[in-house]
Each structure stands twice: as structure tokens, then as C-alpha cells.
């Protein structure tokens, strides 16, 4: 599963909106919505070898924002 083991970040659900027509400020009559589809926003999850609190090394799935923030101590 795409869930960060540190912060619990997981996929979010949104919508993808398809439009047609020309924008009013470009001289058209306005954009019209022709379809709305469900989509998923996936977090950037990486598998890293990390050193845990008790000193053991384990592969865990972590989001890149947690790696960048220094919440994960990478094992050499």
C-alpha cells in the first residue's frame, strides 16, 4: 500500500475536469465542462533502509517529505 510509515500520508481522491471552448477573456463565450472523472493524487513513497529506534535496520516505505525533513535516519 502507498502509505508513509512515519506520517501516515496516503492517496487522496480528487476530480479531473475536462473543458472545451474558448475563455471569455480570449474572446470566446466561456469554457464549458464536458466531463468529470475521479482521479487519485498519489504521494511520493520511497522504500528506504532505515535505522529504527532500537537500532535495527529495516526497509520501510516513507514519503519524500519525511526523508527531506530528516524524520528518517538512513542506514549506511
Summarize pLDDT for 13-32 with one digit per residue, the tens: 999 999 999 999 999 999 99
Residue 74's nearest CA partner among 57, 44, 2 is 57
pLDDT band at 53 (very low <50, low <70, confident <90, very high): confident
Distance of alpha carbon 2 from alpha carbon 43, whole angstroms: 7
The rounded mean pLDDT for the chain is 95
Distance of alpha carbon 9 from alpha carbon 4, whole angstroms: 5
Domain ranges of the chain: 12-69
What is the fold of 12-69? putative 5-dehydro-2- deoxygluconokinase like fold (2.20.150)
Amino acid at each position: 500500500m502507498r502509505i508513509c510509515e512515519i506520517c501516515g500520508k496516503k492517496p487522496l481522491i480528487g476530480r479531473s475536469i475536462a473543458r472545451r471552448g474558448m475563455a471569455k477573456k480570449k474572446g470566446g463565450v466561456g469554457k464549458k465542462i464536458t466531463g468529470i472523472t475521479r482521479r487519485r493524487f498519489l504521494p511520493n513513497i520511497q522504500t528506504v533502509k532505515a535505522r529504527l529506534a532500537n537500532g535495527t535496520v529495516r526497509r520501510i516505505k516513507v514519503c519524500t517529505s519525511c526523508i527531506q525533513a530528516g524524520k528518517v535516519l538512513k542506514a549506511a
